[in-house]
Amino acid sequence: MQHTSAPLQQPWGQPSAAQLAQAVCIEDLRQIAQKRVPRMFYDYADSGSWTESTYQANASDFQKIHLRQRVACNIAERNISTVMAGVPVRMPVAIAPTGLAGMQHADGEILAARACEQFGIPYTLSTMSIASIEDVAEHTTAPFWFQLYVMKDRDFIGRLIDRAKAAGCGALIVTLDLQVIGQRHKDLRNGLTAPPRITLKNALNFATKPRWCLNMLRTQRRGFGNVLGHVKGIDDMSSLLSWTGEQFDLTLNWSDIAWIKERWGGKLVLKGILDPEDAKLAVACGVDALIVSNHGGRQLDGALSTIAALPAIVDAVGHEIELWLDSGIRSGQDVLKALALGARGTMIGRPYLYGLGAYGQAGVTRCLEILAKELDLTMAFCGHTDIRAVGRDVLCSEHTAR
């Protein structure tokens, strides 16, 4: 099917340098995003499933890990750049795939991808993005990564993989932990849809977000761009919603990875690993990296936080494959702790969405600047000058004995 990209409008209401400078941590960006993004979309990004215990533990378990401060070390020259899946990165952080990013801010996926391109880290586009693969490729120059949900319609999935190849995507990330969808109470209460269903409750809330509304009126990207017009019989949002609800594949298993790997032919990453036995099965598939992830606490509530699950997975397969971690990172210190426990890289979802919702592309850049500075300074306090040499020695003794 022919793809026609909509023009990219300059977002209305760009932040000043002074406004950006006032955001000194990720929590500052979160608070601004909460004020600017309609409730249903803010809640979609900043919530978990059921009681949200795993969602909360993802962040709080990082705080239980104590760092080992060192002094009188020569820390004059420091380096936080490294490599993830063969790609040089300015810091060991990539953007995790997040659905509906284009509803946090108009044209959000394109703006975020541009921020990552300029900063020097990889951006990952979700299957359930608002902007399409082709849209992001047309408005950026650096190769981005693409995340794949495996659906029952294998013809569509095959064509989606082919589209990612044609767009020059540098890696395919297959998400394994969404065969069924966790019950997310806030989404159910808000009646989440994209584009939003206009009810009196939603209309009243939108009226308090004029900047968001004006920018959304100026873009044509308000549906799921990777699906609409690419599936037979799916031409509007009502038909798309019913199709999506039926499409997540309950039969997905390890043998499907071989078909995806052959069809894709490039770097392949598996996301959603929480158990050492699953990690061993994933390694046997011959992929390039694994992501220790619990979907941001949005799937199985009561599961381990990712930072708690990481050490056992490192022990099981860390010598065989590159491991990354997502879910729960809110600071550069969290990045350092993940690396100290054996991850080779990390991915962030909510922190960049907060920046996007707060200030668009400039907000994403500000998020990345904050994380990089925190990572660099924390590494220095721990007596290290090269992020690639960070190990368990930066942690206090209760975290090093294994």
- Tell me if 36 is assigned to a ligand binding site: no
- Tell me if 211 is assigned to a ligand binding site: no
- Tell me if 70 is assigned to a ligand binding site: no
- Tell me if 265 is assigned to a ligand binding site: no
- Tell me if 147 is assigned to a ligand binding site: yes
- Tell me if 354 is assigned to a ligand binding site: no
- Tell me if 99 is assigned to a ligand binding site: yes
- Tell me if 263 is assigned to a ligand binding site: no
3-state SS record for the chain: CCCCCCCCCCCCCCCCHHHHHHCCCHHHHHHHHHHHCCHHHHHHHCCCCCCCHHHHHHHHHHHCCCECCCCCCCCCCCECCEEECCEEECCCEEECCCCCHHHCCCCHHHHHHHHHHHHCCCCEECCCCCCCHHHHHHHCCCCCEEEEECECCHHHHHHHHHHHHHCCCCEEEEECCCCCCCCCHHHHHHCCCCCCCCCHHHHHHHCCCHHHHHHHHCCCCCCCCCCCCCCCCCCCHHHHHHHHHHHECCCCCHHHHHHHHHHHCCEEEEEEECCHHHHHHHHCCCCCEEEECCHHHCCCCCCCCHHHHHHHHHHHHCCCCEEEECCCCCCHHHHHHHHHCCCCEEEECHHHHHHHHHHHHHHHHHHHHHHHHHHHHHHHHCCCCEHHHCCHHHECHHHCCC
- Tell me if 330 is assigned to a ligand binding site: yes
- Tell me if 219 is assigned to a ligand binding site: no
- Tell me if 80 is assigned to a ligand binding site: no
Q: What positions carry a catalytic annotation?
A: 295
- Tell me if 298 is assigned to a ligand binding site: yes
Detail the residues annotated as belonging to a binding site for FMN: 97-99, 126, 147, 175, 271, 293, 326-330, 349-350
